[in-house]
A and B are shown apart, each in its own frame.
Chain A
Amino acid sequence: MNRISPHLAKLLTVALVMFAVAPGAEGHVMPGEAIGFVSGLKHPISGLDHIIAMVSVGLWGAQLGAPAIWLLPVTFPLIMAVGGFLGLIGVPLPGTEIGIALSGILLGAVVLLEWRPRLYWAAALVGVFGLYHGHAHGAELPPGQDALLYSLGFILATGFLHITGIAIGLIHRWKWGENMLRVAGAGVCACGIYFMWQAVA
């Protein structure tokens, strides 16, 4: 009768043990895949061009005061979702990168100059740029496993960027705060110019 050698028996035992306690493979989860809430949360904060625009909306809202302080952050995510919808279904929007860079320049400029237009003009300006940002996000969204959780994280991250902007913008009540906000607006504007240079170069 053929017997298994002790050496082979040990090898088989080790193989069996490794097989029994093998953990789940995680190598197939690629960065950027829409796997759930956390990846959705990370998406809007993964690009400086998006961050500065969304924070600027909050800053401008805080400068303008009520009702713009809440109307602008309500408008932006909604219009951004419309842009995301268009991007997801494949409707092209020409000059997306230029539009995003322009949003940094103009939103930075309005914060710098503390421009006070009529409310509907402010909402329209924010809305147009929301469309561009949303379209870029929608077009880039990778195939996902859980669209709901991904989108939930995505919307929450966007909203919290606006809230961050509003929270920073509350320093507007002090004179030094007004000046700081203008400096921040200049910084955003400079970033926007840099992104525009990158977009057209």
Chain B
Amino acid sequence: MTHESLSSASHRRRVRQLLAFVFAVFPDPASAHLVSTGLGPAYDGIYHFALTPAQIVPMVILALFAGRRGPAHTRYVIFLLPLAWLAGCAVALPLSSRDATLVPAFTLLLTGGLLASDIALNVIVTSVIAAFAGFILGGVYGAPAGGAAGSVASAGFIFVAMSLCASVSLPLRRLPAIVAVRVAGSWTAALGLLLVGWFVHGRT
């Protein structure tokens, strides 16, 4: 073997070692997967849900509204909405991504309007609204991460989160606290209205 070929082989080896080192030190995070916590499908599902404010905000607002209306409304809403959300996940509504943007817009407008107006609804009406909101949010967003286990875990997470939110507004008696909750409702309704505007703006 000549000196030249030995040098070339040594150089190639050094290049390979350098590249291996570079790839090991500067790995780029994989972006192909939706979310991966590394803790299993249940946590992946919860993580995916928690990263979707379009689902979380209307649910939180609806829980606050149910809390304002009293224990009976709260009980129905916190059980019905996660179940309807699961049913929506199973059905998976066939909406285009463009039309799907209307879902958070109208759910935010509806739930924000309810909370801002502090309207006294019948418990059946509140339950129907909760079931409807849960079903369409689940149907549009669902839980692609984690499969069935992710969906069930997310539904459990929704139940706990909504119970906590309702427990905030349920005991409110002082006017400033009630006003703060209603202001949150008005801001949410405003958010929904702007989203409808975005939707129409994108269409024109």
Contact = CB atoms under 8 A, between A and B. Distances in A.
Nearest to A88: B197
B113 to A, nearest CB: 9
Given A74-B182, A85-B197, A21 B26 contact: yes
B193 interface: yes
B1 interface: no
A21 B19 CA distance: 10
Contacts, number: 95
Interface in B54-107: 54, 57, 101, 104
Interface residues of B, number: 35
A123 interface: no
Contacts of B104: 148
B54 to A, nearest CB: 5
B194 A88 contact: yes
A148 B53 contact: yes
Interface of A: 3, 6, 9, 13, 16-17, 20-21, 66, 70, 73-74, 77-78, 80-82, 84-90, 138, 141, 144, 147-149, 151-152, 154-156, 159
Given A6-B7, A148-B53, A155-B194, 12 more contacts: A17-B18, A17-B19, A17-B22, A70-B183, A74-B116, A78-B186, A81-B191, A86-B197, A88-B200, A89-B200, A148-B104, A151-B195
